[in-house]
C-alpha cells in the first residue's frame, strides 16, 4: 500500500544518515555527562537534548520554521540570549571579595593569557597545515580559555557561528572538568610552603562601594574599551540591580525566572547547531584539544602571576588562588579552596579565591571585546 510505503519512507530508520546517528549518540553522551557526572547540567542537559532533537531525520526542528532554528535566529544569532544570561550572572555576582582585595584583578588578567596563547596555537596549527582555522575562528576558539559560558557563546556567535556548538560544549565541559584539570597544574607550579600561605582576613566592604563599582567599571569601559560594552554593560546592569537595593523584585526575577527561561532556550538553540557536518570533523577535535590547552595555560598563568606578585609585595598571596583567575565561577574558587585545605587543613581560601574568580569574568569579557573589535565581529 502507498500509505505504508509513505510511513516507511518517513520513518527515522529509512532516513537516518550515519552522521545523524552519531550525533544522537553524542547528544546522549552529553546527557550522561550532565546527569550522571554532573558536568554543568544546566547547559549540557539542554544542549545535549537540543542536539538529539536536531538530528532526528526528516522533520523541521533545527532548520526552516522549526522551533529550535527560530530560537537560534532570534536569541543566539542576535546575541540577545548570552547578553541576558550575562545580566543574570551579574545579578548573582558578589564583588565584595574583589573590592576587599583589588590586587586580585591582576590574577584575573594573567589568566586571560590562556585565551591568546590558544589563539596563537590555533593559527599555528593552521599555518602548519594541520587544521584550517582563519583568524576569527582562532579567536573564537581562544575564548574557551576564558572559562565563561555566555562570553564564549557570544563571541563564537559573532566570529564563528559554524563552530558555535563545539566551542560551547568545550567551554562548559572544561568548566566542569576544572576539579580534574587544575589541581595537578597548581601542585606542579607551587611548593608546599607556598600552598600553606595563609592570607589576611578580608576587610568588610561597604554597600556604597558595591553600588558604585559596577558604575565605575561601566564608565571605564565607555571611556577606554567600548567594544566590551555589550557584555560588560549588561553584566554591570545586573550587578547594579543586585546591589542598589531599590529594585529587589527585578533582581529576583533576573536571578530566577528570566535567567532560567533564557538558559533553556540558549541550550536548545546551541544544540540546534549540533549537525554532523558542523561537528564531526577534525576541527572539532582541534577545538577540544585547544580548549584543554587554553584551560591549562590560563591556570598556569594565574598561578605564576601570583608568585610574581609575591616577589614584589610584602602582603603574600597564596599562589593557588591565581588559578581561580580563569573564572569558571564558582568551581575554580572551590577547587582552590580544596587544594589549599590539603596543604594546610585550617587554611580556607574560598573567599580569597572569589576575588580572582570574578576578576576573571571581567578579564575575559575585556578580551572578548578586543577579539571582536580586531577580527571584525
Interface pattern 74-113 for Na ion (x via CB under 5 A): ----------------------------------------
Question: Restricting to residues 120-159, which ones interact with another protein according to CB under 8 A?
Answer: 120, 122-124, 126-127, 134-135, 138-139
- Answer for which of 22, 215, 276, 341 binds its own copies (CB under 8 A) is 215
Interface pattern 315-334 for another protein (x via CB under 8 A): -------------------x
Using an 8 Å Cβ cutoff, are 337 and 82 in contact? no
- Answer for which of 142, 286, 360, 369 binds Na ion (CB under 5 A) is 360
CA dihedral of residues 306, 311, 316, 320 (deg, nearest 10): 30
Interface pattern 3-42 for another protein (x via CB under 8 A): xx--x-----------------------------------
The option from Na ion, its own copies, another protein, none interacting with 151 (CB < 5 to 8 A, set by class) reads: none
369 binding Na ion? (CB under 5 A): no
Nearer to Na ion, 146 or 230 (CB): 146
| Nearest in space to 271 (alpha carbons), one of 50, 19, 55, 69 | 50
The most distant pair of C-alpha atoms in the chain lies apart, rounded to whole Å, by 86
What is the secondary structure of 232-274 as a DSSP string?
HHHHHHHHHHHHHSS-HHHHHHIIIIIHHHHHHHHHHHHHTT-
Question: Restricting to residues 345-374, which ones interact with another protein according to CB under 8 A?
Answer: 348, 350-351, 359, 362-363, 366-367, 370-371, 374
Q: Quick one: how far is CA 129 from the chain centroid?
A: 28
Side-chain half-sphere exposure of 194, counting CA atoms within 13 A: 20
What CA–CA distance (Å, rounded) separates 364 from 243? 22
| Nearest in space to 319 (alpha carbons), one of 292, 361, 347, 345 | 347
What CA–CA distance (Å, rounded) separates 187 from 257? 40
- Answer for which of 29, 222, 281, 342 binds its own copies (CB under 8 A) is 222
What is the secondary structure of 3-38 as a DSSP string?
HHHHHHHHSHHHH--HHHHHHHHHHHHHHHHHHTS-
The option from another protein, its own copies, Na ion, none interacting with 61 (CB < 5 to 8 A, set by class) reads: its own copies
Instruction: Compute φ and ψ for 224, nearest 5 degrees.
Output: -110, -35
Nearer to another protein, 106 or 172 (CB): 106
- Answer for which of 63, 191, 256, 282 binds its own copies (CB under 8 A) is 256
Contact residues toward another protein (CB under 8 A) are: 1, 3-4, 7, 94, 96-97, 99, 102-103, 105-106, 108-109, 112-113, 115-117, 119-120, 122-124, 126-127, 134-135, 138-139, 202, 204-210, 212-213, 216-217, 220, 224-225, 242, 245, 248, 251-252, 255, 334, 337, 348, 350-351, 359, 362-363, 366-367, 370-371, 374-375
Amino acid at each position: 500500500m502507498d500509505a505504508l510505503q509513505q510511513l516507511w519512507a518517513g520513518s527515522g530508520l529509512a532516513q537516518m544518515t550515519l552522521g545523524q546517528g552519531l550525533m544522537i549518540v553524542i547528544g546522549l553522551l552529553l546527557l550522561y555527562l550532565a546527569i550522571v557526572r554532573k558536568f554543568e547540567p544546566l547547559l549540557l542537559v539542554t544542549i545535549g537534548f537540543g542536539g538529539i532533537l536536531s538530528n532526528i531525520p526528516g522533520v523541521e526542528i533545527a532548520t526552516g520554521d522549526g522551533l529550535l532554528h527560530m530560537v537560534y535566529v532570534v536569541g543566539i544569532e542576535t546575541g540577545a540570549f548570552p547578553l541576558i544570561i550575562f545580566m543574570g550572572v551579574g545579578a548573582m555576582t558578589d564583588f565584595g571579595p574583589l573590592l576587599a582585595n583589588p590586587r586580585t584583578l591582576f590574577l584575573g588578567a594573567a589568566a586571560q593569557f590562556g585565551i591568546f596563547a590558544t589563539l596563537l596555537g590555533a593559527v599555528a596549527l593552521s599555518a602548519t597545515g594541520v587544521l584550517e582555522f582563519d583568524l576569527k575562528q582562532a579567536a573564537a576558539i581562544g575564548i574557551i580559555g576564558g572559562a565563561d559560558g555566555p562570553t564564549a557563546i557570544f563571541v563564537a556567535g559573532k566570529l564563528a557561528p559554524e563552530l558555535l556548538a563545539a566551542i560551547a560544549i568545550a567551554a562548559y565541559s572544561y568548566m566542569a572538568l576544572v576539579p580534574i584539570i587544575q589541581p595537578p597544574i597548581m601542585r606542579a607550579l607551587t611548593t608546599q610552603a607556598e600552598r600553606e600561605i595563609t592570607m589576611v582576613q578580608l576587610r568588610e566592604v561597604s554597600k556604597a562601594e558595591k553600588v558604585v563599582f559596577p558604575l565605575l567599571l561601566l564608565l571605564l569601559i565607555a571611556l577606554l574599551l567600548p567594544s566590551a560594552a555589550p557584555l560588560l554593560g549588561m553584566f554591570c546592569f545586573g550587578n547594579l540591580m543586585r546591589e542598589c537595593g531599590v529594585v529587589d523584585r527585578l533582581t529576583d526575577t533576573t536571578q530566577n525566572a528570566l535567567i532560567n527561561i533564557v538558559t533553556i532556550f540558549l541550550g536548545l538553540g546551541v544544540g540546534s547547531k549540533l549537525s554532523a557536518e558542523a561537528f564531526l570533523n577534525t576541527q572539532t577535535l582541534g577545538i577540544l584539544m585547544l580548549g584543554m590547552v587554553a584551560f591549562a595555560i590560563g591556570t598556569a598563568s594565574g598561578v605564576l602571576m601570583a608568585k610574581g606578585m609575591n616577589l614584589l609585595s610584602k602582603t603574600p598571596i597564596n599562589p593557588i588562588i591565581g588559578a581561580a583567575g580563569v573564572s569558571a565561577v564558582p568551581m575554580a574558587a572551590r577547587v582552590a579552596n580544596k587544594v589549599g585545605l590539603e596543604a594546610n587543613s585550617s587554611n580556607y581560601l574560598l573567599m580569597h579565591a572569589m576575588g580572582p574568580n570574578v576578576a576573571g569574568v571581567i578579564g575575559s569579557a575585556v578580551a572578548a571585546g578586543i577579539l571582536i573589535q580586531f577580527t571584525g565581529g
